[in-house]
Structure 1
Amino acid sequence: MTDQPDSAPRAPEGVDTDKPSAARIYDWYLGGTQNWAVDREFGRRVERQWSLVKPGAKQNREFMNRVVRAALQAGVRQFVDLGSGVPTAGNVHEIIEAELDDEDSATVVYVDYEPVAVAHATLILEEAAATDWAGIVHSDMRKPRTVLRDEVTRELIDFDRPVCLMMMAVLHFVGPDDDPEGMVKAYRDALAPGSWLAISQMSEGDGSGPALEGLRWLVEQYRKTSNPMWLRDRAEIEPLFGGWPLLEPGITHLPDWRPERELNAVEAEARPFAWCGVAEKPPA
């Protein structure tokens, strides 16, 4: 991506653009423009040390897109995207618009605690004339009760019907002191049978060599930001599904969940460093 410092919109009131933001850095990884110089510089430093960061981000976004399409094909019409970040191409509402015809409909709730993410999501939904079926909740996903009781959530989501709840590359920002298992359980308990829970999580996986050392360096750098990072292995991720039956192919690396294309050499190198899976809530 060519840096264009003037392309980033004016920061909303109260947004700190002097400190790197995980949401804006991720936008840069995906080739977006909703980021500032401090985010781009942080991203470049990460990429120099761990060249797989952009391929990894792309694999995560493609996994999310496949989950949304699969949920729609299964008849799910409600989506909650926790820690949705700064809007970038391939958002949930864009996938829905591409997949459904005019006679079908769905609803989407994005959730993020960063004011900049909320500001840009609001603008994008307004420009897309989607505010009657998609909305943004300005809240910390680590507070399930607040998210679930928010006015936007209650307006757009009927928890008596199936929901696709997505935690895409956000749980690595939930530390042990945040009680990740309790947090995820609170969301699971709110969902109706037939709901889906989709999780992707960065991990050391079965990586090795310089790539693994680069990832460990990345984690240390994030520990210096407002969004410290924790990696989890497969054994730590599986309990988060609460015993719900996993949809095929189970817990896999990102590009292995119902793949739609072949990987190039660099993408294959990034493959080991994240896990993902989707589970469906069984009947009571």
Structure 2
Amino acid sequence: MTDNAADITDRIASTAAEVGDRLAELLADRRGETEGAPTHLMAAIRHGALNGGKRIRPFLVLETARLFRADREAAMRVALALECVHCYSLVHDDLPAMDDDTLRRGQPTVHVAHGEAQAILAGDGLQTLAFEIVANARTRLPAEVKVALVAALAHAAGPAGMAGGQALDLASEHETRDEAAILRLQGMKTGALLTFACEAGAIIAGTGEDDRERMAAFGRTIGIAFQLADDLLDVTADTKAMGKATGKDAGRGKATLVGLNGTGWARKRLDALVDEATTLLAPYGARGETLAETARFVADRRN
């Protein structure tokens, strides 16, 4: 492992721990956004949101905000909101009607631990809580910035984004799909939230459209790399290393770029995507180095 790789791994881990602590604090604060919520529902929500993970989406929000010298506390609040949306998606993705998984990050999934009904409600609660976090007075941003963030996050999570991608994914089982169709599906299901994560820093900072569009393009590139690395791990890693079942895509007949083009092609494509991401960051010089290393981390991850 190179010094840069070790540094970015440590930085991501440190941020993940901070985000986890802040999320735990938010979900335990019965005087704040979750005041009055039923205890058993909050237990299911905490199970789905506080079970670890790399928290790469919040990290990207915070790093893109830092790139544009935006307020870190405001960025943290937006990062927590995005993580709530991501965790909701995982809780629902694991349900029997969806991917039917019993293991997530080495622990029983929410519907296994708390029942299917509570898992559905936990996902619903996390999704709507995200928008309250952004809109809440505790998030100290101008109203027009909050509106822009809510609109962008809703689009990324909705029928033209993540939810639509999940619908396409479910429909793709045992269907023949070409590369363009797979990229569309994955760009919605996985890429949309990652794109928002990278664009959010520019929105928070109130930058011009050029910066916002450049960071969105960076996010789309990261999204392709993230999903391609995930599909590669589904083929090459074992359940213990991943903390979830592997080999499921092939077992369910889901089309992936790895299945279509092979593992050798996938590794070369990941290298090319890192180069594309780095090129997009070139105008920012040394300030973009952390995000460039993040692109490499995403492409090279082992779990």
TM-score of Structure 1 vs Structure 2, range by shorter chain: 0.3 to 0.5
TM, length-normalised to structure 2: 0.34
> More strand per residue: 1 or 2?
1
TM, length-normalised to structure 1: 0.36
> More helix per residue: 1 or 2?
2
